[in-house]
């Protein structure tokens, strides 16, 4: 089935064609008709399968169709997202699909001044994409009127609920009309989260689950190699320099680790950017923009970027540190192999990280391919390095000293 066959407005069909959308993905094929019918939906599918378009297409179509008859009369849809970057990305998808329509979408989030967001709200929007904090602030200030809301969408639902937003979502539902549609979308979900999700939708909600037993996308070739902490930077350097045209997304466990790895790479003439919660929001957006455009091909990130961020043409994901939570492995490696593209992911595992590896393999239900690195391979990687010396301890000491200075300044 092609999008031309769908019961959607000609403007949306034109936009989808311009975006290169010809046939719906499995999650889109299953979700769009049910959402058009007004059903509550709990949808679970692998990352990179087009979940955002699965709810954006029918919602924009519905608003555009009704707007032709009734004109603009308040916010019709709220989309909740766990991170600021994801909120902006979702809004971009809505903008693209609604380009030749009169449907207006606004992303609001913390970390930036609220006044420009309020001005746009007052001018009138149809779809509001938001992080919970900023949304609740503006509701309580009276800038967001909720009595016209017809649909609530919770994206990355498991992450939203695990971050403790369950009570906030419950509070939001009290502000919304009872006769509404509720949609939950996520790549992963467990029994506890499923129970919470079902408590927020009506009893006849449609459950659509397209995740196979192994939740890692079939488009991603992923493997693991055993590397001790002192040697990780040498192996990383060699991989990057031997693949000097590829786009790399490198995941570490903490913001401090991100800056350490960046500094280590700079010492061997590899330029990179970092993204983590310590950076100002404008800096985070600028870094993502540079990475998406290809201005910078190496981004070192904490898990703030593992959830839902659709960066085009990421060739290689490297888990420099294994994630603490097994489900984050799925979201990390899913940053490559998006849509119909193929991608590769490699994880470094030190001896002390082996329990984390066991947890990941238990979660994805299959063993991860092992790429053996011999002592000779490690020695060659160290020799390959521009400096050939291991100043990791001094680098850590310097980072700790810089961190202490920042804390003193804040006080």
Q: What is the pLDDT of residue 271?
A: 94
**CA 186/CA 206 separation, integer angstroms:** 14
The predicted-structure confidence for 222-257, as pLDDT tens digits, reads as follows: 999 999 999 999 999 999 999 989 999 999 999 999
The lowest-confidence range among 44-53, 88-97, 124-133 is 44-53
Q: What percent of the chain has pLDDT over 90?
A: 41
The whole-model pTM stands at 0.74
* Full strand arrangement of the beta sheet holding 369-370: 273-275, 298-301, 248-251, 316-319, 343-349, 220-226, 369-370
Among 348, 368, 346, which Cα is nearest to 359's? 368
Q: What is the pLDDT of residue 211?
A: 64
Handedness of CA 398, 401, 406, 407 (dihedral sign): positive
- How does DSSP classify residue 303? G
**Given pLDDT bands bounded at 50, 70 and 90, which one contains residue 323?**
very high
**CA 180/CA 193 separation, integer angstroms:** 21
Q: What is the pLDDT of residue 305?
A: 63
Question: Quick one: tokens of 215?
Answer: 């939740």
**Given pLDDT bands bounded at 50, 70 and 90, which one contains residue 264?**
very high
Whole-number mean pLDDT of the chain?
A: 85
Question: Quick one: tokens of 311?
Answer: 């960066």
| Structural domains present in the chain | 3-209 (3.40.50.300), 220-410 (3.40.50.300)
User: For the stretch 56-87, what's the b/e string if a residue is b when 16 or more beta carbons lie within 10 angstroms of its beta carbon?
Assistant: bbbbbbbbbeebeeeeeeebbbbbbbbbbbbb
Please give the average per-residue pLDDT across 4-21, as a whole number. 83
Q: What is the pLDDT of residue 285?
A: 84
């Amino acid at each position: 089935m092609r999008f031309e066959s769908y019961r959607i407005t000609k403007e949306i069909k034109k936009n989808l064609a311009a975006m290169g959308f010809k046939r719906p993905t499995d999650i889109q094929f299953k979700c769009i008709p049910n959402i058009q019918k007004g059903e509550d939906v709990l949808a679970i599918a692998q990352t990179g399968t087009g979940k955002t378009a699965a709810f954006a297409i029918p919602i924009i179509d519905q608003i555009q169709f009704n707007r032709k008859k009734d004109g603009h009369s308040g916010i019709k849809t709220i989309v909740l997202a766990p991170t600021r970057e994801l909120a902006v990305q979702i809004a971009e998808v809505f903008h693209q699909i609604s380009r030749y329509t009169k449907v207006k979408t606004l992303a609001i989030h913390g970390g930036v001044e609220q006044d420009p967001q309020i001005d746009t709200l007052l001018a009138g929007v149809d779809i509001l994409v938001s992080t919970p904090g900023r949304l609740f602030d503006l509701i309580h200030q009276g800038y967001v009127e909720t009595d016209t809301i017809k649909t609530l969408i919770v994206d990355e639902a498991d992450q939203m609920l695990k971050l403790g937003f369950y009570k906030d979502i419950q509070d939001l539902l009290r502000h919304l009309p009872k006769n509404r549609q509720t949609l939950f979308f996520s790549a992963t979900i467990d029994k506890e989260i499923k129970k919470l999700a079902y408590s927020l939708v009506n009893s006849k909600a449609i459950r659509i689950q397209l995740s196979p037993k192994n939740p890692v996308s079939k488009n991603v070739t992923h493997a693991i190699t055993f590397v001790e902490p002192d040697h990780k930077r040498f192996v990383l350097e060699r991989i990057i320099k031997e693949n000097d045209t590829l786009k790399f997304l490198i995941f570490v466990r903490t913001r401090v680790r991100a800056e350490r790895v960046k500094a280590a790479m700079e010492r061997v003439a590899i330029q990179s950017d970092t993204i983590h919660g310590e950076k100002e929001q404008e800096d985070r957006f600028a870094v993502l923009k540079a990475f998406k455009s290809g201005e910078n091909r190496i981004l070192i990130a904490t898990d703030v970027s593992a959830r839902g961020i659709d960066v085009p043409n990421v060739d290689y994901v490297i888990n420099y540190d294994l994630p603490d939570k097994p489900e984050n492995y799925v979201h990390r490696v899913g940053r490559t192999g998006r849509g119909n593209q193929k991608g590769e992911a490699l994880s470094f595992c030190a001896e002390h990280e082996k329990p984390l590896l066991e947890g990941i393999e238990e979660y994805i239900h299959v063993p991860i391919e092992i790429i053996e690195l011999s002592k000779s391979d490690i020695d060659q990687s160290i020799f390959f390095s521009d400096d050939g010396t291991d100043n990791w301890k001094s680098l850590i000491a310097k980072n700790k000293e810089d961190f202490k200075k920042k804390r003193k300044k804040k006080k």
